[in-house]
Structure 1
Amino acid sequence: MNAGSIKEVREINGKLRYNILRVPKEVQMASGIVVHGKRIKSLVFTTDLAIIKNCDADAVFAVYPFTPQQSISDAIIKHSSMPVFCGVGGGTTKGLRTISLAKDVECQGAWGVVLNAPISNLNLKVVSEAIDIPTIVTVISEDTDINARINAGAAILNVAGGKDTPAIIRKIREIDDEIPIIATGGGDPDTIVETIKAGANAITYTPPSIQDLFRTVMIGYRESLK
């Protein structure tokens, strides 16, 4: 997989909404994944609507460490100006509930569902057959049976292996060079580039917290009053 080059584009900003959260420019080297006709290279990993409304990512990766709730996915999808990929369980939440949640978020307008690494292949298969949007399965280990995941209906793999992410991606590419891969790229430009060169088609970006962002703003305010 060859990473593309970063292209300069003309930019137009508003008078007030110029200070948006920007995904690292290195992400643009990714080839992207075309979902429902839209090319997606960057996904912001958050459920915070303030960040979602003020970020230049191509899509939202709405996965959180609690049991999925329809009210949360509905609010994010309804107010996001970009496609949303929703977590529907796969770990603590599994079985019939994942099927129900997947069908619910599809009806709400999600562009895909994300299933956690512990999901069984049988559960994955049933979810993928119940909906008409992509099923994204998280991979956290090189020991994952990739062919079994694909055969069970995984349309996209989401690699989240921490520092081992590039190595896991390279192993996947030895098995299947076509399956679309989303991966965590970390905050370091070199790590993002390495992840893309390993074979990732799109990168999830974890933004700073609202507290950290506000801290920067407040420092600016204080400096302006001196």
Structure 2
Amino acid sequence: MSALIPRPTMEVAPGAVHVPDWLTLEQQRELVTACRDWATGPVPIRHTELPRGGVMSVQTVCVGWHWQPYQYTRIAGDVNGLRVAAFPDWMVDLGRRALTAAYGEAAAAADYTPDTALINFYDGQAKMGMHQDKDERSSAPVVSLSIGDTCVFRVGNTETRTKPYTDIELASGDLFVFGGPSRYIFHGVPKVHEGTADPATGLTSGRLNITMRVTGLTG
């Protein structure tokens, strides 16, 4: 995104930090290429079916562990019965650098070892309702990266899906980290601004959101 209007790093809530323009264009292109590879399999990208019926409007592919509501497994029994792609070491390093950028604590970030990533693709009509990331057994921070179209990101509270909440814009290259008191905030994406993606990222339309987590699981 053009820096005509400065977008400083901002702590939206305690432990919830927005770092604009954190990823370079080259890094974004590399991530788009990796996500396209993962989207083809071994467990391909898909619209996740919800337990009470219905289908999520975003498309999801997982790395490291397979997520389905509301559990992690190595094998995607709800898709094709195959094991998901391994979580690469370079993403561990990326997650640690992201934590350092958000919190300014390199020593603490050195212990951060994400072992899964959920990669969501939003077309112009896709949304994500208010929810908590609480299927992990670890309370380590969640690292979120945005590429492509700008979205409205709704940052809520830890008690309810309703107000109070704060709406911010996440643009291509932005980093958002939530941990500490905000690890279990409700959050969602009520709108994607179509046509705002920079083709130089390798993504001409839609939005990629990559969230790295520590599952706390073994096996």
TM-score relative to the length of structure 2:
0.30
* Structure with bigger RCO (C-alpha 8 Å, 6+ apart): 2
- Which is richer in helix? 1
Whose Rg is larger? 1
TM-score relative to the length of structure 1:
0.30
